[in-house]
Structure 1
Amino acid sequence: MDDFLAARSQMALSLGFHIIYACIGMVMPFFMAVSHYKWLKTNNEVYKHITKAWSKGVAIFFATGAVSGTMLSFELGLLWPKFMEHAGPIFGMPFSLEGTAFFIEAIALGFFLYGWEKLNKWFHWFTGVVVGVSGLASGILVVAANAWMNSPAGFEYVNGQYTNIDPIKAMFNDAWFTQALHMCLAAFTATGFAVAGVHALMILKKQHTDFHYKSFKIAAAFATVAALLQPISGDISAKDVAQRQPAKLAAMEALYKTEKPAPLLIGGIVDEKNKTVSKAIEIPGALSFLAHGDFKAEVKGLDQIPEDEHPPVAITHYAFQIMVGLGTIMMVISVTYIIVLWRRKTVLNSKWLLKLFVFAIPLGYIALEAGWTVTEVGRQPWIINGIMRTKDAVTPMPGIAWSFYLFSAIYFSLSLIVIFLLYRQIKMVPVLYQSSNTDSWNK
């Protein structure tokens, strides 16, 4: 493995692991806040137990997210020094603000975890809300920095020099809103389905049904609403990408030739050597409509883009198909869930629906990883779109492959630890649920 590939692989691995930890840590506090609020309003002890159980999960993912996020910060400087040399002063503001949001989140989480029976009950609830809001703000700020790489703004690039830097304009670049919206909905969808699926599994096993059903309803509510809003966000994102990054859109749809109107491809096998796609289902004019809001509009293909600026088409196309396909499945499950609730008012007797949620546990995170693959691979060969190529930003230091192997071992070890801790928490639920001793929750 050459150093350039090793550097890219290490960043992909780091981002792939961190995004899962970050999303769960960003979304779970909102689930926790809802269950806590229900306990305060109804005085139903089950909701208190749910809140405390979920808060321990939040603590686990906050810690792992902090570790993996810190490693990513070092990797940006060590693996891509040329990029950080020029980009750091421009898009450093969202990273600085993200650090502030992180510290607020850490302080609020400390208050929440150790504030039981010590703080005013509504102030205690409020600290949990702050954990969620500050975590969400952290995610949005990081996405704003990534959006800048796709839509660079806030500077002038003249003769290889970056001048007239405007950090505010860089942070609120043309892509930040669409990417942040899409990412936040994806996080709520993925985490909602994962959490709901775990509780659905416990219901099917008939283990403390009341506890798990109440938990399931809260997570499923977030998941279904986010999944149904996601297509709207996807449409906004598609139109934005069509304007700013036509090469990425062409790679997403494996559109080698400019067409008017352009069909939308479902599936298909990409032949990058011959620049063709076979065995795909074509929907005439659909891509033109998705990209430009007009079924007869022209969509720019890769034939109008210099070949040395083509993204890897096969990877981008397959990742896009996976993301859309899994998103569609989760949307169908969401509609089905709403219909069942409307007709029956409960899902406890609908084992087939609970099994659908169990099946959907990993789908959101697979779609999330596929979406980030589209975002990052689809931007290649640029690290700053249209300004700096990725190969020009990599460190000249040798031996990056060994760093990749080391970090791979660290991330896989960290994941095993997380799985063990979560498994132990799930196994402890019966004991905690049966106990009325508050101190047992705080050990």
Structure 2
Amino acid sequence: MSDLLAARSQMAMSLAFHIIFAAVGIGMPLLMVVAEGLWLRTRDETYLTLAKRWAKGTAILFAVGAVSGTVLSFELGLLWPGFMRFAGPIIGMPFSLEGFAFFTEAIFLGVYLYGWKRVSPRVHWLAGALTAISGAISGVFVVMANAWMNTPTGFRMQGGQPADIDPVAAMFNPSWFQQTLHMTIAAYLATAAAVAGIHAFMLLRHPADRFHRRALGIALWVLAISAVLQPISGDHSAKVVAKTQPAKLAALEGQFRTERGAPLRIGGLPDPASETTRYALEIPRGLSFLAHGDFDAEVVGLDQFKPEDRPNPVVVHLAFQVMVAAGMALMGLGLLCALLAWRRRGLPRQRWLLWLIVLGGPLGFVAIEAGWVVTEVGRQPWVIYGLVRTADAVTPMPGLAVTFTTFTILYLFLAAVVAWLMWTQIINAPHAEGHGQHEEAGHAIA
């Protein structure tokens, strides 16, 4: 394994691990705030128990996310000094603001966790709401920096170096809105789907459990809403990518030749040797309309770029297909649950539906992981699109395969510990005893 491949693999593995906790840090506070809000409105103690249980899980995942995020910040400097040397003065502002938002989230999460008997119920709920808001803002700032890597602005080149830097213009680059919107909705969708899957599984074991039915109801509402909004944001993203990163669009759609009325491909396997995408179901002129809003618009193909400037169409296309398939499956699941709930005027109880929800539980995070493969691999061979190549940004330090192997083992161990903690402390904890404790705490607050 070359040092460049080892560095890319280590960064990819670290990002793939951290992004799960980053998404949960955005999505879980919303769920716990909704649960506490329902308790404030109805005084149903089940909602209070649920808010406390979800808050405990949020705290565990927040702590792991903080550790993995810190590792990533060190890796940026240690593995990619060429990138930081060029980009540091330009995108330092969103990273600084992300730190501020992160500490704000930590402060209000602390108030939420330890303030049950120390502040009024409404102030406590407000602390949770501010945790949810600051968590979402923290994610927005990070994605702003990534969007700048895809569409770098806010400076001009002078003598091979950036000059006249405008950090605000760099933050609000052409891709910032579509990327932050798409990722934020994805975080809510993935978290809600995972939570719904867990509680649906528990309902298969204990069908009459009121705690898990309340939890499933909240998660399904968030899932249904975000699953419908996500394709809308995806459509906007496709149009922005078509304008700012045509090579990425061509790779993710398996579009080798520039043509008008380009078809939209579903499935298929790109073959760079023959420059065709085999076995795909093609919708005539669909890609031209999706990318440009015109069935006869010209779509730029990979043939307009030098071979060394092209992303890997096989990886990018397959990852994009996985992302879209997972997202569409969740949208269908959300609409099905909403329809059945409307017809029954309540949460449906069919076992086959619960099994569908369980199977759909991981799909949100599958879509997130695949989507980040599309974003990152689709930008290659550039770490800063059109300006700095990935190969020129990597550290000259040898032996990176050793650190990649070490960190992989560490992350696998940490993942096992987190899974064990979540199962024993949150998911499979005996909430009969916990309900009594939470009910006593609820009377103390009231």
1:70 equivalent in structure 2: 70
TM-score norm. by structure 1 comes to 0.97
- Corresponding residue SS for 2:62: helix
- CA shift for structure 1 position 436: 3.6
Paired with 2:296 and 2:434, the residues of 1 have a C-alpha distance of 60
1:369 equivalent in structure 2: 369
Paired with 2:255 and 2:169, the residues of 1 have a C-alpha distance of 32
Paired with 1:306 and 1:24, the residues of 2 have a C-alpha distance of 40
- CA shift for structure 1 position 223: 0.8
How do 1:270-309 residues align onto structure 2 when only pairs under 5 Å count?
A: 270-309=270-309
- Corresponding residue SS for 1:188: helix
1:416 equivalent in structure 2: 416
Paired with 2:65 and 2:120, the residues of 1 have a C-alpha distance of 29
TM-score norm. by structure 2 comes to 0.97
- Corresponding residue SS for 1:435: helix
Aligned-pair RMSD on alpha carbons?
1.3
1:259-295 CA-to-partner distances (Å, cap 9, x unmatched) read 1110011111222222221111100000000000001
1:216 equivalent in structure 2: 216
- CA shift for structure 1 position 180: 0.3
Deviates more, 1:351-360 or 1:383-392: 351-360
How do 1:347-362 residues align onto structure 2 when only pairs under 5 Å count?
A: 347-362=347-362
- CA shift for structure 1 position 123: 0.8
2:391 equivalent in structure 1: 391
Q: Is the 8 A contact 2:94 2:142 kept in 1?
A: yes
Paired with 2:438 and 2:69, the residues of 1 have a C-alpha distance of 36
Paired with 1:208 and 1:82, the residues of 2 have a C-alpha distance of 58
**1:119 aligned onto 2:111:** no
Paired with 2:249 and 2:380, the residues of 1 have a C-alpha distance of 12
Letter in 2 for 1:435: G
Letter in 2 for 1:377: V
Paired with 2:72 and 2:367, the residues of 1 have a C-alpha distance of 22
1:268 equivalent in structure 2: 268
Unaligned 5+ runs, structure 1: none
Paired with 2:373 and 2:435, the residues of 1 have a C-alpha distance of 44
- Corresponding residue SS for 2:145: helix
1:22 equivalent in structure 2: 22
1:10-47 CA-to-partner distances (Å, cap 9, x unmatched) read 00000001000110121100100011111111111111
2:239 equivalent in structure 1: 239
Paired with 1:150 and 1:103, the residues of 2 have a C-alpha distance of 27
- CA shift for structure 1 position 335: 1.3
1:89-132 CA-to-partner distances (Å, cap 9, x unmatched) read 10010000000011111111111111111111111111111111
- CA shift for structure 1 position 433: 4.0
Paired with 1:427 and 1:399, the residues of 2 have a C-alpha distance of 43
- CA shift for structure 1 position 430: 2.6
1:316-356 CA-to-partner distances (Å, cap 9, x unmatched) read 00000001111111111111111101111233432222111
- Corresponding residue SS for 2:278: strand
Deviates more, 1:126-135 or 1:429-438: 429-438
**1:320 aligned onto 2:320:** yes
Q: Is the 8 A contact 2:49 2:438 kept in 1?
A: no
1:428 equivalent in structure 2: 429
- Corresponding residue SS for 2:152: coil
Provide the aligned length of Structure 1 versus Structure 2. 441
Q: Is the 8 A contact 1:268 1:281 kept in 2?
A: yes
Q: Is the 8 A contact 2:102 2:135 kept in 1?
A: yes
How do 1:73-112 residues align onto structure 2 when only pairs under 5 Å count?
A: 73-112=73-112
- Corresponding residue SS for 2:270: strand
Q: Is the 8 A contact 1:25 1:135 kept in 2?
A: yes
Paired with 2:290 and 2:139, the residues of 1 have a C-alpha distance of 27
- CA shift for structure 1 position 369: 0.4
Q: Is the 8 A contact 1:347 1:353 kept in 2?
A: no
Paired with 1:208 and 1:134, the residues of 2 have a C-alpha distance of 36
